[in-house]
Amino acid sequence: MSRFEPRRFLLGLAAPVLALLVAVLVTSLILVITGDPVADVWSQMLKAPKPGQATDMINNAVVLYFSAIAVAIGFRMNLFNIGVDGQYRVAAFAAAAVGGQALLPGPLNIVLILLVAMATGALWAGIAAWLKVTRGVSEVISTIMLNSIATGVVAWLLAKVAAEQSAGSNDIGTKRLPDSSHLDGFVLLAGTQKKVYGLIVLAVVVGFLYWFVINRTRFGYDLRATGRSESAAVASGVNVKRMVLSSMLLSGAVAGMVGLPLLLGENYNYGTDFQAGLGFSGIAIALIGRNNAIGIALGALLWSYLDKQAVTLPIATDVDDSIVKIIQGVMVLAVVIAYEVVRRLGKRIEQQQVTRELAAQDRQPVAEGASA
Amino acid sequence: MPSTGTAVELHGITKRFPGVVANKDVEIVVRTGTVHAVVGENGAGKSTLMKILYGVQRPDEGTITVNGQQVDLRSPTDAIKAGIGMVFQHFMLADNLTVLENVVLGAEKLHGIGAGARKEIERISQAYGLGIRPGDLVADLGVGARQRVEILKVLYRGAKILILDEPTAVLVPQEVDELFDNLAELKSEGLTVLFISHKLDEVLKVADEITVIRRGTTVQTVDPKSVTARRLAELMVGSELPTPQTEDSTVTDEVALRIEGVTLGASAGPKVLDGIDLTIHAGEVVGIAGVEGNGQAELVEVVMGMRDANAGTIMFGHTDITDWHTREIREAGIGYIPEDRHRHGLLLDAPLWENRILGHQTEEPNVNGLLIDAKDAKRDTDRIVQEYDVRTPSIFVTAGSLSGGNQQKLIIGREMSHTPKVLVAAHPTRGVDVGAQSAIWDHIRAARREGLGVLLISADLDELIGLSDTIRVILRGRLSGEFDPDTVTAEELGAAMTGADTGTHADTKEEGA
């Protein structure tokens, strides 16, 4: 038996494809029931995006990618960091406030912004980790609560440090980053002036590091072992409390990066109009991408594609763009179910294969030993 | 014994899974009012057969006849209707509910959930001498009592034919005897028992007839009165058994592990471990006998650093490791064969080579600095698979897809590969077939000759007597008595394990230290 098994690969691919089909089916059904034009909606959704739109999709996906990786770090050891949403907002605010002061010249300020964002995200997630390790508080509960606390804290601090209000707007925000701290990115797709966020590079680096640390390092092994069986991990010498603390801090640090592409490449400050809710999409994308660095990238692109295609839906078809939320929701549910079904199926097939191959070995005892 | 008719007849039962035949032409005839044992090695097809009889799986060919009528069992519900009940090896009881609540759960329609059900439970308990009180909380019950609750659950649902899957695996000798008394009671009331096991002496003791299964098919049905355990084992494995050899002592003066005054538990109330003193020398196997739940598991966890003792010290050679963390203890050279390999010994969803790393994440050949050295780990896994005869098609299949015996051989191979100075082995051959058992014993004996000190926890007296240089008995968290395995009898050990020798155990306590 070889390392690479086409069957396992196909099984892995079957789950997301199946989930997508189910999502399409259920959504179509809903459209039929509500008497909406099914064909029109799908032709609109499947219309090839223009280069400008495509760039938007990529940019949105970059942001979602950080969010989903942050969630996935926790998932890999059965930690549910529902608090990415709060973590990135607190982090983005802190980074914007510090960055706006222009304490360091040029690119150094960008590095400072990055570090402040990571540290703040880690700190905010660290509260939940600390509560879990010392008091046994479920991280699900504490991170959800910290999300809501984050909203309050950021609003309050924003009012304190707010720079001048722009004329005719109720929006307040932190001081604008100096021009030298802007990362406007670069034009990726021909046929548009729109630029892809410069931090797409950071996303690729984070994705690679995520894969490398989880799969290639001792720390990653301990983390995965804890996720697979905490009791076995403890018996193998893993200090589970320390693992909870460090993985939560890592997750928070990555969560801290979620807002940076927006801060450095689009908004240049943190204001009341800063995009919210990115943390929750991250949970869904981590599920769809199966905590896999590449899978999450594809999931983020798909998610972002659906988000952006929906924008024109009401104009073109008179169907509200909330239908996309239904597609996304059904997809996540279907994907979770499909993965579990595929996992069980794979397990059963493997068991049968082992029995079969052992029986075959028994019949010809000359060919001894394990053939790897 | 009354044996008027047949309770169950299986004829020509064949069950294929894609590419493999789990059962082939199985022929079993179980007479009413008898205890019929089905024995076979792990993976011989016993469980598949019982699943077929309990309606969990359907046979591809063959017929099932219950009480003279051919039946088609599509689900356990059908089986229960036909009067067949199953007591699983792993109990399915809710700890925080009472016996009554556990029994009526899912069978509320039979006798309600109140006085009627209570009366019925008391009646069944009386009739079969189960000694179960409906008001007791299951959490307070011992293993034997829990098993009787499971039996009662099945009887409550009207079963006349009981399937017991490896019922003695979780019991100690005294409890086994009680169970056998219960089975005799059931038999005398005209019920039929199908008893699945691979413990041959027990089968010989309790069964009226024994059917041997090998490689999915029934080999022979024999009369326990006219067959020896050895002959049965030979039927099971299909070959001659190796004769156990007595070996010279390899015990040295060098202390490998010294446990002094280890105590676990709050200062008030009973202690889980109470002043444990124990010394293991290099080349010595110290066996701990005891009824399960008397502190064995906790002793292992304290030694392995998974729990902190409230008092006492643990010396590894000349080093005090009392406060060490599990990882440091394992790195220092204490190997660990956990009691529950699924919970503590393996990552069932991970491939074999990743399981080879488990417990030795910081040691050669698994790592290279801070990185996992997958290449070397894989190569070494291949070596373990070869040397320890782990039966697997490859090292890339998940640990969960192997049989229990092969999982255990992998664990033994892994632990031995790091040349431990001390091995903590908790029930090293539990749930393992005869072939794997003798292989595991040989590995432990070989390592002992090389100077390994072994702390052996076991419920299998043959294993304790066959492997140990010294046997200690643990009772209510205290070590009592020290026995020489060459001269001790099972009766003596049994008495010490239950405290029947109360007069002496307090005095002999200090001897071993």
Decide if pLDDT at B510 tops 60: no
Q: Which residues in chain B have their CB less than 8 angstroms from residue A209's CB? A: none
- Which residues in A lie closer than 8 A to residue B370 (C-beta atoms)? 217-219
Chain B partners within 8 Å of A355 (Cβ): 17, 19-20
pLDDT number for residue A164: 60
Would you place residue B243 in the very low, low, confident or very high pLDDT band (cuts 50, 70, 90)? very low
Residue A339 predicted with pLDDT over 80: yes
Q: What is the pLDDT of residue A153?
A: 94
| Beta-carbon pairs below 8 A across chains A and B | 130
> β-strand B20-31 against B161-165: which pairing, if any?
unpaired
Report whether pLDDT(A366) > 60: no
Q: What is the pLDDT of residue A369?
A: 40
Say how far residue A13 (Cα) sits from the centre of its chain: 19
pLDDT at B319: 92
Average pLDDT, chain B: 84
Cα pseudo-dihedral B311, B312, B315, B319, rounded to 10: 60
The Cα B474–Cα A267 span in angstroms is: 70
pLDDT band at B224 (very low <50, low <70, confident <90, very high): confident
- Residue among B20, B330, B347 whose CB faces A237 most closely: B330
CATH architecture label of B254-332+468-513: 3-Layer(aba) Sandwich (3.40)
Residue type, A126: G
Which range has the worst mean pLDDT, A78-82, A175-179, B150-154? Answer: A175-179
**Cα(A121)–Cα(A93) distance, rounded to whole angstroms?**
10
Judge whether B476 and B295 are in contact, CB under 8 Å. yes
* Interface residues on A facing B, Cβ-Cβ cutoff 8 A: 1-3, 216-222, 224-225, 228-229, 231-232, 234-239, 347, 349-359, 361, 369-372
Residue A256 CB contacts under 8 Å (≥ 6 apart), including other chains? A87, A88, A91, A92, A95, A117, A118, A119, A120, A121, A122
Tell me the β-bridge partners of B311: B263
Q: Hey, of A78, A221, A349, which one would you mutate to test binding to chain B, going by the most B CBs within 10 A of its CB?
A: A221
Spatial distance between the Cα atoms of A272 and B376, rounded to a whole number of angstroms: 54
Sequence-distant (6+) residues with CB within 8 A of B428 are B337, B408, B412, B440, B444, B456, B458, B463
Class of the domain covering B6-237: alpha beta
- What CA–CA distance (Å, rounded) separates A355 from B305? 37
So what's the pLDDT on residue B267? Answer: 63
Reported confidence tier of residue A302, pLDDT bands at 50, 70, 90 = very high
pLDDT reported for residue A206: 96
Residue B235 distance to chain A (closest CA, Å): 18
Is residue A249 scored above 90 in pLDDT? yes
pLDDT score of B344 more than 50: yes
Domain ranges of chain A: 1-36+319-360, 51-313
Tell me, what's the pLDDT at A252?
96
d(CA B476, CA B497): 9
**Yes or no, beta carbons of B361 and A222 under 8 Å apart:** yes
CA–CA gap between residue B216 and residue B238 (Å, rounded)? 13
For residues B40 and B247, is the Cβ–Cβ distance under 8 A? no
Residue B17: which of A220, A231, A352 has the nearest Cβ? A352
Selecting from B344, B347, B394 the residue whose C-beta is nearest the C-beta of A371 gives: B394
Q: How far apart are CA B296 and CA B310, in angstroms?
A: 16
User: CA A45 to CA A298: how far, in whole Å?
Assistant: 17
Supply the pLDDT for residue B509: 38
Spatial distance between the Cα atoms of B46 and B38, rounded to a whole number of angstroms: 7
- Determine the 3-state secondary structure of B320 from DSSP: strand
Residues B239 and B149: their CA atoms lie apart, in Å, by 39
Residue-level pLDDT at B225: 87
- DSSP structure string for B351-373: BHHHHHHTT-TTSTTTEETTEE-
Identify whether the C-beta of residue B414 lies closer than 8 Å to the C-beta of residue B428.
no
pLDDT of residue B244: 46
Nearest to B326 by CA among B287, B300, B356: B300
| pLDDT over 70 at A371, yes or no | no
- Contact check, Cβ <8 Å, B393/A358: yes
- Asked if the model's pLDDT at residue B110 lies above 90, the reply is no
Read off the pLDDT of each residue in B303-310 and give the average, rounded to a whole number.
91
Taking alpha carbons only, the member of A225, A228, A235 closest to residue B329 is A235
pLDDT value at residue A360: 77
Average pLDDT over residues B16-35: 79
The answer to whether the Cβ–Cβ distance between A353 and B393 falls below 8 Å is yes
Chain-centroid distance of CA B160 in Å reads 27
Contacts of B263 (CB under 8 A, 6+ apart): B271, B273, B274, B275, B276, B309, B310, B311, B312
Judge whether residue B502 has pLDDT over 60.
no
Angstrom CA distances, B272 to B309, B310, B478, stand at 10, 11, 9
DSSP, res B400: G
Q: Residue type at B123? A: R
Q: Rounded to whole angstroms, how far apart are CA atoms B24 and B39?
A: 16
Query: Which has the closest alpha carbon to A116: A172, A59, A181, A179?
Result: A181
- What are the backbone dihedrals phi and psi of residue B228, each rounded to the nearest 5 degrees, phi first? -100, 160
* B476 CA: distance to closest CA in chain A (Å): 24
Task: Tell me how far apart the alpha carbons of residues B16 and B48 are, in angstroms, rounded to a whole number.
Answer: 10
Which H or E element spans position B276? strand B273-281
B330 at interface of A, judged by CB pairs closer than 8 A: yes
For the cut 80, the answer to whether the pLDDT of residue B289 exceeds it is yes
Cα B99 from Cα B93, distance rounded (Å) = 9
Do the beta carbons of residue B195 and residue B179 sit within 8 Å? no
How far off is chain A from B195, nearest CA to CA, in Å?
Answer: 25
If you write DSSP's letter for every residue of A268-294 in order, what string do you get?
SS-BTTS---HHHHHHHHHHHTTT-HH
B312 secondary structure, DSSP code: E
Give the Cβ contact number of residue B182 at 10 Å.
20
Judged by phi (left if over 0) then psi (alpha if -120 to 50, else beta), residue B305 lies in left
- Assign B21 a pLDDT band (cuts: 50, 70, 90): low
Please state the rounded mean pLDDT for residues B208-215.
Answer: 86
Taking CB atoms and an 8 Å cutoff, what residues of chain A touch B354? 221
Q: Do domains B6-237 and B254-332+468-513 have the same CATH topology?
A: yes
Is it the case that residue A121 has pLDDT exceeding 90? yes
Average pLDDT over residues A116-145: 95
Mean pLDDT of chain A: 88
Within 10 angstroms of residue B358's Cβ, the number of other Cβ atoms is 27
Among candidate residues B144, B194, B132, B189, the one with its CA nearest the CA of residue B169? B144
Q: What whole-number distance in Å separates Cα of residue B74 and Cα of residue B62? A: 14
**B508-513 long-range contacts, CB within 8 A, separation 24+:** B508/B480, B508/B481, B508/B482, B509/B478, B509/B479, B509/B480, B509/B481, B510/B277, B511/B482, B512/B277, B512/B278, B512/B279, B512/B470, B512/B472, B512/B479, B512/B482, B513/B260, B513/B277, B513/B278, B513/B279
- Does the pLDDT at position B51 exceed 90? no
3-state secondary structure at position B275: strand
- Residue B335 sits at φ, ψ, to 5 deg, of -80, 155
Q: Is B37 helix (H, G, I), strand (E, B) or coil?
A: strand
User: Predicted ipTM?
Assistant: 0.84
Look at residue B64 and give its three-state secondary structure.
strand
What pLDDT was estimated at residue A370? 38
The secondary structure of chain B in percent helix, strand, coil, rounded to multiples of 5, reads: 35, 25, 40
* pLDDT tens string B261-281: 999 886 666 788 988 999 999
d(CA B262, CA A184): 65
Question: What is the CATH class of A51-313?
Answer: mainly alpha
DSSP type of residue A256: H
Q: Please tell me the predicted confidence (pLDDT) of residue B511.
A: 38
Exposure of B294 in the CB half-sphere (CA atoms within 13 A): 23
> Which helix (H) or strand (E) segment is A354 a member of?
helix A322-363
Domain boundaries, chain B: 6-237, 254-332+468-513
